[in-house]
Amino acid sequence: MFTTPYPETSWQIPWLHSLFGNAAAVATGVAAAMRRKGKPEIRVVCQGGDGGTTDIGFGCLSGMFERNDDVLYICYDNQAYMNTGIQRSSATPPAARTATTQAVGAEPGNVFGTGKNLPLIAMAHNIPYVATAGVADLRDLEAKVTRAMSIHGARYIHVLVPCPLGWGMPSHDTVRVGRLAVESGFFPLFEAEHGVVTASTPIRHRLPIDDYLLAQRRFAHLYHDGKPVDGRVARLQAMADENIRRFNLLRAEETEL
């Protein structure tokens, strides 16, 4: 919405807004209309936040994947419903403080063992292309969009986008924190085709999860005087370690996956 405040638009191509819940279905319809009009060369890109993608529009998106509709769907994941006031989404990581997962009670912040991993769910639909990307390496993002646009059928790119207000960090740290998410292993960068991982970006300088968590006030309740207050930091570290193992992120050189 911020790119198109009436009567202006920053898009120099045709665009339309859908409802929150039906973005993927609307994109499917546009692609079908273009096909029917004999203009299959017109490509359709659909964009949504993590709330719109992982929760509210999830059913329509799964349908779009399942039918292998010719649409590239891009999710900008800032890990909560940010423009309505930082409510938890199913992309909010464990322990994170949001307006609806306050840092109080027996398990402060977002509950462990909840949420969903949309890139892996997209892969489970066996669609032609799935990728994750971040804001710290724009060449990587560009290459993945270019690759996605060279393919037909349902494609999905999941971009981790730090939210200074929601994550509790200065705006000028956006790229740094985005890089820490990747270099700690907490957010793996990879590509997959037809459900199989085909590439992943190795971590150049592996960093402890503390570097990522301590940079954000949404995780401040996990530490006292810079030291973890309980075992939850270790659980988050274990999640990063599991990503590193699963996506082979610490290899010395490129190897076949």
Ligand X SMILES: Cc1ncc(C[n+]2csc(CCOP(=O)(O)OP(=O)(O)O)c2C)c(N)n1
| Binding segment toward ligand X, per CB under 6 A, in 46-54, 93-101, 116-124, 233-241 | 46-54
> If 0-12 CB within 10 Å is exposed, 13-18 middle and 19+ buried, where does residue 17 land?
exposed
- Applying CB under 6 A, which of residues 21, 63, 168, 228 lies at the interface with ligand X? 21
Is position 4 an interface residue for ligand X (rule: CB under 6 A)? no
Length of the chain: 257
Please say which residue, 52 or 185, places its beta carbon nearer to Mg ion.
52
Q: Of 202, 208, 214, which is closest to residue 234 (Cα–Cα)?
A: 208
Please say which residue, 4 or 83, places its beta carbon nearer to ligand X.
83
Check the CA dihedral 125-131-135-136 and report its sign: positive
Which whole-number Å values give the CA distances from 24 to 33, 95, 113, in the listed order? 14, 30, 27
Residue type present at position 93: P
Contact 223, 229 (CB under 8 A): yes
Contact 222, 229 (CB under 8 A): yes
Q: Of 75, 101, 107, which is closest to residue 88 (Cα–Cα)?
A: 101
- Applying CB under 6 A, which of residues 24, 26, 28, 51 lies at the interface with ligand X? 51
Q: Of 172, 182, 196, 223, which is closest to residue 122 (Cα–Cα)?
A: 196
Instruction: Tell how strand 223-224 and strand 227-228 pair up.
Output: antiparallel
Residues 49-68 that bind Mg ion (CB under 5 A): 49-51
Q: Dmax of the chain from CA atoms?
A: 64
Q: Is the peptide bond before 170 cis (omega within 30 degrees of 0)?
A: no
Is position 162 an interface residue for ligand X (rule: CB under 6 A)? no
Is position 81 an interface residue for ligand X (rule: CB under 6 A)? yes
Is position 17 an interface residue for ligand X (rule: CB under 6 A)? no
Residue 50 CB, nearest approach to Mg ion (Å): 4
Is position 89 an interface residue for ligand X (rule: CB under 6 A)? yes
Residue 95 CB, nearest approach to Mg ion (Å): 18
Please say which residue, 87 or 198, places its beta carbon nearer to ligand X.
87
- Applying CB under 6 A, which of residues 9, 83, 102, 114 lies at the interface with ligand X? 83
- Applying CB under 5 A, which of residues 18, 78, 132, 216 lies at the interface with Mg ion? 78
| Binding segment toward Mg ion, per CB under 5 A, in 72-80, 138-146, 185-193, 247-255 | 72-80
Residue 79 CB, nearest approach to ligand X (Å): 8
Residue 205 φ then ψ, to 5°: -130, 100
Is position 56 an interface residue for ligand X (rule: CB under 6 A)? yes
Residue 77 CB, nearest approach to ligand X (Å): 8
Contact 127, 153 (CB under 8 A): yes
Residue 92 CB, nearest approach to ligand X (Å): 10
Chain contacts with Mg ion (rule: CB under 5 A): 49-51, 78, 82
Chain contacts with ligand X (rule: CB under 6 A): 20-21, 48-52, 56, 78, 80-84, 89
